[in-house]
Amino acid sequence: MTVFWQLVLNGLMLGGLFAIISVGLTLIFGIIRLVNFAHGELLMVGMYATFLLTTQLGVHPYALAPPVVLLLFVVGVLIQRFILQPLLEARDHHVQIFATVGLSTALINLALLLFGADIHSTPAYGARTSLTLGPFRILTGHVVMFVAGILVVAGLHVFLQRTYLGRAIRATAQHRHAAQLMGIDINRIYIITFGIGAACVGLAATLVAPMYPVSPTVGTYFVLTAFVVVVLGGMGSLHGAFIGALIIGLVDSLSGYYIAPDLKEVVIFAIFILILLVRPTGLFGLGRGSE
């Protein structure tokens, strides 16, 4: 029984990791209605930035959160302004899909060119130390991620509900043209939203870097799970993403132990396909999942 509860605990902690990676993805989808296939590469960029700064400056990765968050915000702003905004009125879905797919491919290979295919480990500064809670053990870094995940979701929620900018963002999400008639500069809203979404990934990167080594394809590894999380929680729903992340974390942890370690991804993707087909709006979706 101890094993089971340890697995549950591991699953929840893993869920915290998935949550913090997925928040930006679901935000961008919910507001801009764009599936960002380059999301994982934003994480990769952030992780390389954290790795480089930590090793060069000898600073704790967590202390790098402000500069990396800012960096990713700027990257997000640039992507939205110069790549995605011109495609906003495009007639077909495939144009936006391919823009982000192309960006993803270019970034992965740019990292390959610059850093090679080898993995690089960011110094952990204690994030990989395990805490003992009675019979159970968890890593400090995971606890930090879990708490940060809750704080980011709660913070974004308050921001969207209470501030003027947040309301403008929600209005734009609900009806782009009506929002324009109300005097909202929707291009600016989209740029800010993409920036915030990318900034969330930046924060995630500083927290993930001490736990997992970075490589050019690290984004692909995490982003596929993030898509599962976001679709399960309902594309665009922040708390949905959080709960979806916990569920997928549990599935990952339990199926890895009880079925087979190398089949846990099969289980996760089977769930993903099932959700897409049976309930494409997810658990807390906006009701437009199959659009």
Partner 1 sequence: MNDGKLAAFGLDKRSAILVALLLAAILAIPLGVRSDFVFHIFITICLYGALSTAWNIVGGFAGQLSLGHAIFYGLGAYTAGLLVPYGISPWFGMFAGAALSAVVAVLISVPCFRLRGPFFALATIAFLEVVFQLALHFKGITGGAVGLMVPLQIGWEWMIFREREPSLLIAFGLLLLTLLVAGWIRHSRFGYYLIATREREPAAQAAGIDSLKVRLWAVAISAALTSMVGTFHGMYLTFIEPEAMFSLTLSIQIAMFALIGGIGTVLGPLLGTLLVVPLTELARGWLGASAIGLHGFIYGTVLVLIVLFMPDGLVGFFTRKTHPRPDEAAAQPGALQASAGALVHDPAEPVETRAIGEPILVAEKLNKAFGGLRVAQDLDLSVQQGEVLGIIGPNGAGKTTLFNMLSGFLPPDSGVVRVRDRSGQWVTPTSPHEYARIGVGRTFQIVQPFAAMTVLENIMVGAFHHHASRKEAREKALEVAERMGLWAQRDMEARNLTIGGQKRLEVARVMATEPRILLLDEVMAGLNQTDVRQAITLIEKIRDAGVTVIAIEHVMQAIMALSDRVVVLNSARLLANGKPEDVVRDPAVIEAYLGEEFVHAAA
How remote is the C-alpha of 199 from its chain's centroid?
Answer: 10
164-174 vs 186-208: helix crossing angle, rounded to 10: 110
Residue listed under structure tokens 């690089």: 120
The Cα 213–Cα 122 span in angstroms is 7
Q: Give the helix/strand (H/E) hosting 252.
A: helix 238-258
Q: Which is nearer to partner 1, 69 or 223 (CB)?
A: 223
The Cα 265–Cα 253 span in angstroms is 11
218-233 vs 93-115: helix crossing angle, rounded to 10: 150
The Cα 211–Cα 217 span in angstroms is 16
**Least distance in Å: CB of 230 to partner 1?**
10
Q: Which is nearer to partner 1, 107 or 251 (CB)?
A: 107
- Does residue 135 contact residue 10 with C-beta atoms inside 8 Å? no
Q: Which is nearer to partner 1, 155 or 280 (CB)?
A: 280
User: φ and ψ at 160, to 5 degrees?
Assistant: -70, -35
Q: Which is nearer to partner 1, 184 or 235 (CB)?
A: 235
**Least distance in Å: CB of 269 to partner 1?**
5
- Does residue 88 contact residue 188 with C-beta atoms inside 8 Å? no
Residue listed under structure tokens 């501030």: 163
**Least distance in Å: CB of 255 to partner 1?**
12
Site residues, partner 1 (CB under 8 A): 35, 37, 83, 86-87, 90-99, 101-113, 116-117, 216, 220, 224, 227-228, 231, 260, 262-263, 265-266, 269-270, 272-273, 276-277, 280, 289-291
**Least distance in Å: CB of 273 to partner 1?**
5
**Least distance in Å: CB of 129 to partner 1?**
32
Q: Which is nearer to partner 1, 148 or 248 (CB)?
A: 248
**Least distance in Å: CB of 55 to partner 1?**
21
Residue listed under structure tokens 């291009």: 187
Tokens for 188, please give them. 């600016």
**Least distance in Å: CB of 25 to partner 1?**
12
Q: Which is nearer to partner 1, 94 or 137 (CB)?
A: 94
Q: Which is nearer to partner 1, 66 or 116 (CB)?
A: 116
